[in-house]
A and B are shown apart, each in its own frame.
Chain A
């Protein structure tokens, strides 16, 4: 990749971050904010991983191993415990 591409990625990252901060400081609320922020996060991860870490030009299986390895395991872990977190919250309410 060229230097230009790196700094283009940099600009894109800054733009997404700025958008997330603007959204987070009150202009969007509730579930829409959550979706927006998570989307922004995924876009940033894709930009850093794909362009800065050159994952884009690697073998497809390696991309799958890295992306699915981290994402699926994290999601499985969080999904498994989040239900109980809601339950603990409910039980703590009078």
Chain B
């Protein structure tokens, strides 16, 4: 049925092939390049933030020219700093990591790894990408409107986000932020529905659920969590728009003073927004991190030449994480005035989520045990992911516990923690994935020397940067502050800001090595063979780069699970999923 619907014909014109393409591989690469572009933007914002923190009050001539309102007389205004960190968070979480991992790898890998011609709804897939593009432009463009971009943080807490007069960015910037997020949610919903339908319905013959690569499992579960968690936020965002523009007060209590005037609102509470926001916000971090873990677990067998450890257990743990992630959102709100009794419940939930997470972590390490390890660039980044996951996870235990969180809340400890987790783990895995699947995307290999340089600078820089922030947080340094000069008690920890900033600049700069490597290799890299890593999953049975419509006449048939490495009695140390039982015994 599916084969007939899509056919094998190829679109001819340039626009149909590369711009408004319905081919999942092109869309995946489009997502990835968009994510890279947004990463440059979001990264630049982070660099400006770090410039301000390293040398507060310094004059910046170039910035003064670029942002005459926000950097008045070449000196940064506090509200501009708020815009910077708000948009850095929003762009990095929603428009870089989500785009690269879910949009990029999801689109590229799902049909190739389950043996489908394309997504279940190719047109919807294209629509999903072309909804993201205006969302990106709106987010970036919000810097140019009066008052600057949104300043209420990526969490958009009211009243800053609900009262237009609160800060300059609460006017147009915040409206555009909500609009951009609405488009993002629309796009994610289209993409997520497509992913779930495709994974359930389009698997090729023999590809039972328990024979899917773990990447597909994680993308499936991520999409499902996203589909369940985003709609309530959409409802809340609509109400926030009403609060902003139509005088309702869902998120505004009575007795708010702004600009020497008492606001007329009454009856609502910002607590309600926090609940609704984190009802999405917490599952969202699992939406981001699960595909990263999936990519990691998929890559470990390839470079250790042995089956992945604990496949079934990992899948069950993914389910457990998904279920638990929906009921732990309150651990972001321990100091919000939330009922302490329900806080207890959220703390227990949060600490129990560490169990399946730790099992997955142990499975990753056990997958390395006793293997014959190889260390090309993707493997280096994979090991980097495991290390970050371990370290970042430990920080999470302190933050998930109400008692310690009340001390650490809103300090740089939190900043360091989530940068290791949804910054470090996801980006490391995304880099690993790009180095690994690059031959399938462009038919060429990425440069190994540049790749290793990229890793050996990125990894230590990430660590120095964000571990230092953990310690600054333990010292009580609050996040989101524009200038620490005025606080006597913080002088000791704030002194580290200069070093943190310098490391950040190194980290930012070395990413250009990656970008150069990516675009240079796409055109000039060494030609790749069909299966350069000697891997078993389905995508490596197709030519590099994979043609439109995947696998020509006959779809592959699957006879075994995806981790048959070093099967006793097999001729080679890897047995592709398509190899029948006559080639090597079926183990799983």
Contacts and interface: CB of A to CB of B under 8 A. Distances in A.
Contacts of A84: 271, 275, 338-339, 342
Contacts of A83: 339, 341-342
Nearest to B196: A65
Given A69-B228, A73-B232, A80-B275, 18 more contacts: A73-B228, A73-B229, A73-B326, A77-B232, A80-B279, A80-B327, A80-B329, A81-B272, A81-B276, A83-B339, A83-B341, A84-B271, A84-B275, A84-B338, A87-B338, A87-B339, A88-B269, A88-B271
Contacts of A32: none
A72 to B, nearest CB: 8
Shortest 7 CB-CB contacts between residues of A and residues of B: A83-B342, A81-B275, A87-B339, A83-B339, A73-B228, A76-B327, A84-B339
Contacts of B307: none
Contacts of B271: 84, 88
A80 B228 contact: no
Interface in B206-238: 228-229, 232
Contacts of B443: none
A73 B229 CA distance: 8
Interface of B: 228-229, 232, 269, 271-272, 275-276, 279, 326-327, 329-330, 338-339, 341-342
A77 B342 contact: no
Interface of A: 69, 73, 76-77, 80-81, 83-84, 87-88
A81 B339 CA distance: 10
Nearest to B327: A76
A80 B342 contact: yes
B279 A77 contact: yes
Contacts of B275: 80-81, 84
A81 B272 CA distance: 8
8 contacts: A73-B229, A73-B232, A77-B232, A80-B275, A80-B330, A81-B276, A87-B338, A88-B271
B157 to A, nearest CB: 15
Nearest to B269: A88
Contacts of B342: 80, 83-84
B118 to A, nearest CB: 23
B432 to A, nearest CB: 32
A76 B330 CA distance: 12
Nearest to B342: A83
Contacts of A73: 228-229, 232, 326
Contacts of A69: 228
Contacts of B232: 73, 77
Contacts of B341: 83
A88 B254 CA distance: 13
Nearest to A74: B232
Nearest to A88: B269
Given A81-B272, A88-B269, A88-B271, A76 B339 contact: no
Contacts of B330: 80
Contacts of A80: 275, 279, 327, 329-330, 342
B255 to A, nearest CB: 12
A84 to B, nearest CB: 5
Contacts of A77: 232, 279
B361 to A, nearest CB: 26
A73 B329 CA distance: 13
Nearest to B346: A80
Nearest to B229: A73
A9 B169 CA distance: 54
A80 to B, nearest CB: 6
Contacts of A76: 326-327
Nearest to A69: B228
A84 B327 CA distance: 15
A69 B342 CA distance: 23
Contacts of B269: 88
Contacts of A87: 338-339
A81 B338 CA distance: 9
A83 B228 CA distance: 22
A64 to B, nearest CB: 13
A56 to B, nearest CB: 20
A80 B269 CA distance: 15
Nearest to B272: A81
Nearest to B253: A88
